[in-house]
Structure 1
Amino acid sequence: MAYSLWNDQIVEEGSIAVSPEDRGYQFGDGIYEVIKVYNGNMFTAQEHIDRFYASAEKIRLVIPYTKDVLHKLLHELIEKNNLETGHVYFQITRGTTSRNHIFPDASVPAVLTGNVKTGERSYENFEKGVKATLVEDIRWLRCDIKSLNLLGAIMAKQEASEKGCYEAILHRGDIVTECSSANVYGIKDGKLYTHPANNFILNGITRQVILKCAEEINLPVIEEPMTKADLLTMSEIIVSSVSSEVTPVIDVDGNKIGAGVPGEWTRKLQQAFEAKLPLSINAE
């Protein structure tokens, strides 16, 4: 039997009834997070929870639980489902009320839900690399908020899928931002380039780990916008997310990146990232 999170309770999956007037359903008025689970342990749980509360503050949504309570609920959800490797997903909406663009009264309670999903790590992608395509970034201007409004990302991801690509690398005009569901980096001449963490990208938790890994392996990080032309001259390209971890990109729209195989710096970053994972029991 599977279990889900419903506000401050762990309940049987399928017993949750979301109202058609929930603001998440009608407006995408809410936020979410996804945390990777390795060997039953959440990785960078506190960082994800901190960002969850930061996103809520940015959209003026009040979470009716402390961070400690939420962490405990997520841990209970993982244990109840006997999850070993996979993800825990959780979201909160501004609640259920008659449809109105204006925020509901403060007395309307937010609605918190969550579930887990089993999923093995993508070792083949890590080892061989993936293909990507460039797609115009049509999303809104607050990509730093991990909101439920993902239609722009979905359209880009679908375009990539139809082209046989793993990811869509997004660009606003000539400037590369991030991917449809990941951050993107280029490596050239012993330096790692990535878009600065501002409103045009989500400052991924995995991104933050990778930047620490880069420091550890003496790979200087340049956080500044790069153009599409710049990207295609990179010796190595990687994308990162909770699911992608450190995934090499070996082809962008038919343009071979470097030697067309994962590069030396990519391998070093993968090794440094791997060393941080809670791969042993009770390693959190």
Structure 2
Amino acid sequence: SEQAFTSFATGAALAGLRPVIEFQIPSLLFLVFEQIANQAHKFSLMTGGQARVPVTYFVPGSGSKTGWAGQHSDHPYGLFAHVGIKTVVPATPADAYGLFASAIRDDDPVVVFAPAGALGIRDDVDLEALAPVPLGQGRVHASGSDLTVVAIGHLLPTALAVRDQLADEISIEVWDPRTLYPFDWPGLAASVNKTGRLVVVDDSNRHCGIAGEILATAAEQMQLVAPPRRVTRPSGAVLPFALELDLALQPNAEQLVTAIREVAKS
């Protein structure tokens, strides 16, 4: 069972190993949240650093798989970031390699979400240049001066395509956090303080989501000149089996274009 092998991994890590375990679908994480958040995550903190639990939890195919229905289509990364577990969402093949390598080498539990929408992405990769990517370090994929778009996971290509679409209207900077906890707040601030405007696109539920946290922190600590916006799934969304309805609940390019234009004219 998932509960059993997750607990086995904790014991193996305490014994000096660095186990990597895989969950076939993201909703299985709900079954083992106690073992990860309440046990593995807290051992180091509760022993003053005397115990280490270097487990990597790998979730290939997080999010919608185009018609896999409500019990297989969640993106629960916000749940893990909320309690302080290191949480990674790569968007490119090179970053997937680099972040996964860093997760395995880290002395704390790390959850690596590989979005289903990103699994088909193909890119030219210099194998000799592949290297670990530090956790907590975001990345500017395209520079701009008018507005920052934070794109999480598989929505990065959507954000880059929208940037090209609106190039004659708005100069858009596309920023990828790569790690949701710890979050690269200085990196985001450098972008937002330059552009003054912010839109976040995130394929998880709106209420209490990562996008809301990013907007709140930007409003509190960064130099915004216009109210920020977020493009997400609806609050409390459960994706239906019917593909047309599934896609209707996910963030898309049209919604992102609308949000960008509204923020840009503010």
Same fold at TM > 0.5: no
The structure whose Rg is larger is 1
What TM-score, normalized to structure 1? 0.28
Task: Name whichever structure is richer in helix by fraction.
Answer: 2
Task: Name whichever structure is richer in strand by fraction.
Answer: 1
What TM-score, normalized to structure 2? 0.30
